[in-house]
Structure 1
Amino acid sequence: MSALVFLVNSAIGIFKIILIVWVITSWLVAFNVINTRNQFVASLMEFLYRVTEPALRPIRRIVPDLGGIDISPLILLLLVQAIQIFFNDSIVPLLYGY
């Protein structure tokens, strides 16, 4: 059972890292630090977009537009952190019976 807990926590941690990398690379593209015509950058951005966009899209529909500032990744990061805390504090004790 501890392997399942480790797997869930690792998956959540990897998703948080991917989300942070998405935010940083989108800032770098927006400020013309990196160029999306580079094949590696384009493929990295495509991968990050495909992984994060399904989770960010519902948040973007609910949160009002704040001009040039997109706070949906921050909200998603807080939600994912809350889910991880809930899992570790509520679900894991039920699995182990304490």
Structure 2
Amino acid sequence: MQSLFQILMLVLDVVWFFVIAHVIMSWLINFQVLNTRQQLVAQIWYGLNRVLEPLYGPIRRLLPPMGGLDLAPLVVLLAIIALRIVLQNNMMMFY
């Protein structure tokens, strides 16, 4: 059962990294530091969008329109933090 706990924590860490990378890339693209016409940037950007859209989609439908401000990544990060806290507080269940 300890392996299950470690796998769940690893998955949460990977999702955390993907969300942070997506947020940073969106800022760099919006401030025209990165250009999506470059093949590598476009592949990474569209790959991250494909991976994270199943997480962002339901959250975006629940949140009210904010005039161009996307709060879905923030909600996902808060959910990851909450899941990590719940898992760590119930770690003894996995032993």
TM-score (norm 2): 0.92
SS of corresponding position for 1:66: coil
Q: What RMSD over aligned residues (CA atoms) do the two structures have, in Å?
A: 1.1
Moved over 4 A (4+): none
Q: How does 1:5-24 map to 2 (within 5 A)?
A: 5-24=5-24
- Structure 2 unaligned spans of 5+: none
Aligned residues: 95
SS of corresponding position for 2:35: coil
TM-score (norm 1): 0.89
- Which amino acid letter does the alignment assign opposite residue 13 of structure 2? G
- Structure 1 unaligned spans of 5+: none
Percentage of pairs with the same residue: 38
Q: Structure 1 residue 68: deviation in Å?
A: 2.2
Q: How does 1:73-92 map to 2 (within 5 A)?
A: 73-90=73-90, 92=91
Q: Structure 1 residue 5: deviation in Å?
A: 1.5
In the alignment, is residue 52 of structure 1 matched against residue 58 of structure 2? no
Equivalence for 1:93: 92
- Quote the Cα distance in structure 1 between the aligned partners of 2:40 and 2:13: 24
- Quote the Cα distance in structure 1 between the aligned partners of 2:26 and 2:81: 22
Conserved? CA contact 2:19–2:77, under 8 Å: yes
Q: Deviations over 1:36-57 (max 9, x none)?
A: 0111001101111011110011
- Quote the Cα distance in structure 2 between the aligned partners of 1:95 and 1:68: 42
Equivalence for 1:4: 4
Conserved? CA contact 2:4–2:94, under 8 Å: no
In the alignment, is residue 40 of structure 1 matched against residue 26 of structure 2? no
Equivalence for 1:62: 62
